[in-house]
């Protein structure tokens, strides 16, 4: 999910049914524990060191000058570390999206992607729609939802759709310690492996909120795990409420293709589910009118034998 996708989901059991709820902010427990050991602590640390460096640089004496240089060096080092930790993944995200836009336009493609599922109701409805249109999509599954809906995960896979991972607990890689975000990624892969009865250990990956830190980015790159952002947001998690369900279709037409982001977890407000279905339907209608061919991410990435690697 993107910077604009500020949704956090939580599972509750109501009347024996698992209900996935949507939150515009993280639950208090997640916020407090996350920030306490957050990577954002680096920001504070760098700020403190930078201030001390400035103070140190103000001394005139020999000892003071030496201290000033030392603090200045420490401040510069901290800022460089911060830039690398957050800035490099940010730059990678922009490059990844630029590359996706180039691919879809060159190949005249539309890739439908569904995040945060599977949801018991909406995912099934989406599968019916896709089957009726003969279209394959990419499902970036949330590990904790996978654990609850293993049959549904196997059904998605059996239908020929592409399975991707969206971590296990949807942790924000900038708001938790790097080792926690890394563990969340690996746990998400394991959940899918368990559901499918495989030991693949890697699937196309979409970072929650679109955020990676340097550690998670390096892990994914070293493991050669495809990182899949998006180029068009359907707007189904907009904090300003639902807008035009033809938004994704119009943007796909204007751009000449796109990787469309939508969400298939069940929500308490049913109009969101209908919005997603209408949005996907409109996007597929428009794709047909414009000659854009729906495909999965793997088909986009390797468009034929000897295709792009």
Q: Which residue in the set 116, 169, 184, 266 belongs to the binding site for Zn ion (CB under 5 A)?
A: 116
Residue carrying structure tokens 């059996």: 158
Find out whether 1 and 116 touch, Cβ atoms under 8 Å.
Answer: yes
Of the two residues 115 and 184, which places its CB atom closer to Zn ion in the complex? 115
The reply on whether position 169 binds Zn ion by CB under 5 A is: no
The reply on whether position 20 binds Zn ion by CB under 5 A is: no
Find out whether 6 and 237 touch, Cβ atoms under 8 Å.
Answer: yes
Cα 96 from chain centroid (whole Å): 12
The reply on whether position 264 binds Zn ion by CB under 5 A is: no
CB of 114 to Zn ion, least distance (A): 10
Segment contacting Zn ion by CB under 5 A, of 91-99, 107-115, 128-136, 193-201 = 107-115
Residue carrying structure tokens 């569904």: 114
Of the two residues 261 and 292, which places its CB atom closer to Zn ion in the complex? 261
Of the two residues 238 and 250, which places its CB atom closer to Zn ion in the complex? 238
Residues binding Zn ion: number (CB under 5 A): 4
Q: Which of 306, 135, 298, 158 is nearest to 228 (CA)?
A: 298
Residues 6+ positions from 294 with CB-CB distance below 8 Å:
109, 110, 111, 112, 133, 135, 136, 137, 284, 287
Of the two residues 3 and 102, which places its CB atom closer to Zn ion in the complex? 3
Q: Taken in order 272, 275, 276, 277, is the CA torsion positive or negative?
A: positive
Q: Taken in order 244, 246, 249, 251, is the CA torsion positive or negative?
A: negative
Q: Strand pairing of 138-141 and 162-165? A: parallel
Segment contacting Zn ion by CB under 5 A, of 83-91, 94-102, 205-213, 234-242 = 205-213
Of the two residues 53 and 184, which places its CB atom closer to Zn ion in the complex? 184
The reply on whether position 1 binds Zn ion by CB under 5 A is: yes
Task: Supply φ then ψ for residue 116, to 5 degrees.
Answer: 75, 0
The reply on whether position 236 binds Zn ion by CB under 5 A is: no
Of the two residues 46 and 93, which places its CB atom closer to Zn ion in the complex? 93
Q: Which residue in the set 2, 30, 114, 115 belongs to the binding site for Zn ion (CB under 5 A)?
A: 115
CB of 170 to Zn ion, least distance (A): 6
For Zn ion, the binding residues (CB under 5 A) are 1, 115-116, 208
């Amino acid at each position: 999910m993107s910077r604009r996708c500020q949704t956090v989901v939580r599972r509750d059991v109501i009347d024996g049914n698992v209900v996935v709820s949507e939150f515009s902010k993280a639950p208090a427990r997640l916020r407090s524990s996350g920030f306490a050991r957050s990577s954002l602590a680096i920001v504070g640390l760098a700020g403190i060191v930078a201030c001390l460096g400035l103070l140190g640089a103000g001394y005139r004496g020999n000892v003071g000058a030496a201290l000033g240089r030392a603090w200045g060096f420490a401040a510069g080092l901290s800022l460089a570390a911060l830039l690398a930790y957050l800035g490099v993944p940010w730059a990678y995200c922009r490059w990844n999206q630029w590359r996706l836009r180039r691919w879809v336009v060159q190949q005249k493609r539309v890739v439908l992607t569904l995040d945060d599922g599977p949801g018991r109701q909406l995912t099934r409805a989406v599968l019916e729609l896709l089957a009726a249109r003969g279209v394959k999509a990419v499902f970036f599954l949330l590990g904790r939802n996978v654990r609850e809906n293993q049959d549904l995960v196997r059904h998605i896979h059996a239908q020929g759709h592409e399975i991707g991972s969206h971590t296990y607990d949807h942790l924000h890689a900038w708001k938790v310690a790097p080792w926690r975000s890394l563990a969340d990624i690996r746990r998400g892969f394991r959940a899918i492996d368990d559901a499918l009865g495989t030991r693949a250990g890697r699937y196309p990956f979409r970072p929650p909120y679109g955020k990676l830190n340097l550690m998670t980015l390096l892990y994914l790159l070293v493991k050669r795990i495809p990182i899949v952002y998006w180029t068009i947001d359907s707007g189904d998690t907009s904090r300003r409420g639902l807008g035009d369900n033809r938004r994704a279709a119009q943007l796909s037409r204007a751009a000449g293709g796109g990787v469309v982001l939508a969400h298939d977890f069940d929500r308490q407000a049913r109009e969101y589910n209908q919005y997603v279905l209408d949005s996907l339907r409109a996007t597929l209608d428009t794709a047909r009118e414009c000659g854009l061919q729906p495909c999965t991410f793997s088909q986009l990435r390797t468009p034929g034998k000897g295709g792009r690697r």
